[in-house]
Amino acid sequence: MNAIQVSRTGGPEVLELVELPDPEPSPGRIVVEVAAAGVNFIDTYQRSGLYPMDLPFVVGQEGAGTVVAVGEGVEGVQVGDVVAWTNVIGSYASVHSVPEEQAIRVPDGIDAETAAAVMLQGLTAEYLATSTFPLQPGHRCLIHAGAGGVGRLLIQIAKLRGAEVFATVGSPEKVEVARSAGADHVIDYREQSFVEAIEAIAGPKPLDVVYDGVGAATFEGGLRLLKPRGTMVTFGNASGPVEPVAPLTLMRAGSVFLTRPTLGDYIRDRAEYEERAARLFGWIADGSVEVLVGARYPLADAAEAHRALESRATTGKLLLIP
């Protein structure tokens, strides 16, 4: 099989196309011919060494494809099924071995590329809006990077739940992407201060929750916009990790809550994982949530995909096609 491997940490140039033996079906695991693998910021953090990994390793955590073999004890899927997964390292490959408990059968009517595009970012948007801070009608939220993979999906789910959505983006073209997803107010942060723009619309400290996947560049501004006892959800580091925060900072901001969630803690239980995936696929199937694939790259061009993602100039989801 072909795979993208990292033998030393660094920039996109360390991503190497290699040939490895095909995985054999082992107990509790399935072998999948990969149709598409999702490209995510966590892949860049692991590649760079921000999130330490044992070397060498095959990059990627998310994908979808067709089951070609099953190991002993596998009962929930069979050869020929289309499945998708997240949080399974090694997904940048033409063939992958996936634990059965991490595989979700893709419903009829949803293609493998769409499924691969939403297993990490879509489930992230789902848990952020339904569990980390459960949005309700009347809530006001800020979603940073509103034209990105998580952001565009999160805007749509927030609107489904009745929230008023403020979104930030980084270019005039992205303004339209976020607006088309349903954002009520879109701010190009390169043209104006998002804090001043939101306060001009809604007054001081108007927000119930900030969903921040950008990190260092936007964290402090988001705190300034939260209502007393509002919630700061920092879930990504696109501009670099947030510096340590003193508890007194949260008191001075209005007794606000701060959380740094990760998807793995919201899908540890298999029943919860299936419930979240079913809800997400249901929204996609009935047209409530539209999935935007921004670009598709051949597997060999993984470095180019990483450069594009880290430039923060992309919209929607990036996929690698083996």
- Summarised one tens digit per residue, pLDDT across range 91-126 is 999 999 999 999 999 999 999 999 999 999 999 999
pLDDT of residue 313: 77
pLDDT of residue 115: 98
List, in sequence order, every residue forming a beta bridge with 39; answer none if it has no partner.
Answer: 318
State mean pLDDT over 157-174: 96
Give residue 73's region: left, alpha or beta (phi > 0; psi -120 to 50): left
Q: What are phi and psi of 66, to 5 degrees?
A: -105, 135
pLDDT tens digit string along 238-283?
A: 888 899 999 999 999 999 999 999 999 999 999 999 999 999 999 9
State mean pLDDT over 15-23: 97
Cα-Cα-Cα-Cα dihedral sign, residues 95, 96, 100, 104 = negative
pLDDT of residue 260: 97
CA angle 8, 95, 298 (to 5 degrees): 70
Q: DSSP letter at 132?
A: I
Residues 2-119+292-321, CATH architecture: Alpha-Beta Complex (3.90)
Query: Is CATH 3.40.50.720 the classification given to domain 122-263?
Result: yes
pLDDT of residue 45: 92
pLDDT tens digit string along 192-249?
A: 999 999 999 999 999 999 999 998 999 999 999 999 999 999 998 888 889 999 999 9
Token pair for residue 133? 């801070």
Q: DSSP letter at 213?
A: S
State mean pLDDT over 160-176: 95
Task: Give the mean pLDDT of the chain.
Answer: 96
pLDDT at 10 over 80: yes
pLDDT of residue 237: 84
| CA–CA dist 211, 88 (Å, integer) | 25
pLDDT tens digit string along 42-71?
A: 999 999 999 999 999 999 999 999 999 999
Token pair for residue 222? 């988001």
Residues 6+ apart with CB under 8 A from 82: 35, 64, 65, 66, 67, 105, 106, 112, 115
pLDDT of residue 246: 94
Residues 6+ apart with CB under 8 A from 267: 86, 87, 123, 127, 273, 276
pLDDT of residue 37: 98
Domain boundaries, the chain: 2-119+292-321, 122-263
pLDDT of residue 124: 97
pLDDT of residue 183: 98
Q: What is the pTM of this model?
A: 0.92
Dihedral, 79, 268, 322, 151 alpha carbons, nearest 10: 130
